[in-house]
Structure 1
C-alpha cells in the first residue's frame, strides 16, 4: 500500500459514497487507476465493505452502554451467537481482563436497559456476572 491507497481509504472512510471520479480528481490520478485501486483494496479485503452511519438516537436508541460479561468457561461461541441475536447489540467482543466479553448495547431508556441486562443478558445460561457502564458521550471514526 502506498500513499495513494491510503488517500483512497481516507476519502472513503469520510464518505463511502464518494464517486470514483471524485476520488480520482482529489488524488490527481485517472479514473481507471482509482477504480483499479479500489477494486484491489476490496478484492484483498483491505476494504471489507461500504456502510452507512445511522444515528442510533434518531432510531429511538439514545442510551448506549457497555455491558461487561463474565461467562462460563468454553461457552464463548454459544454466548457470542446469543449476544449478536440481541437487536440492541451494536458490538460484541471477547476481551482479556476481569470480564470475558464486552457488548456495546443501545437502549431506548434506562428501563429498556434494565430489562435488557437484568432479564435477558443475565438470563443466558453462559453468563456468570455482568457490569454495566453507561456511555455519556461517543466519538466514532475520525471525529
Structure 2
C-alpha cells in the first residue's frame, strides 16, 4: 500500500484538485458504467454503488464542473438529485454530452489506437481520450460559444438547410 497509492492523493485539474481518482474518464467516458451514486431509498442497501464507483462518479462530476466552469446546481437540483423533472435543462444536455464522449472515445479514438505513434499513447498503451475539457475549456458553451453552423450547416438539421 505504501508503494502504490492507486492514483489517489494527487490533486490535479482532472479531479477538481481533490484526492479523488485522477482518471475518472475510463469507466464513464469510454464504457457505459452507471454514474448514479445517490440511493433510491432512505436507508442504504447492498444494491448501491461501491465506494470506488462513488469516488469515480464524484471525480467525474468535479471534472465536469471544472471543464464547464460551473458548479453542481448548473445541472442538479440539490434537493432532489434523482428527480430529473426538478433538474435544470442543462442536465439533459450534460447527459447527451456524456453519451457523445462515450461514442467519440469508444467508436472513434479507441479504434484508431493502432495508427497512433507510441509517443501519443498513454502510459498503459491506451489511446488518447476526449473529455469535457477538450471542447469546453472552462466555459459552459463549447468552443467559447462559437457557432459552427455557418461553416457546417449539416450540424443544424433539416431546418438549417
Which band: TM-score by shorter chain? under 0.3
Select the structure that is richer in helix: 2
Q: Which has the larger radius of gyration?
A: 1
Higher-RCO chain (CA-CA 8 Å, sequence separation at least 6): 1
Select the structure that is richer in strand: 1
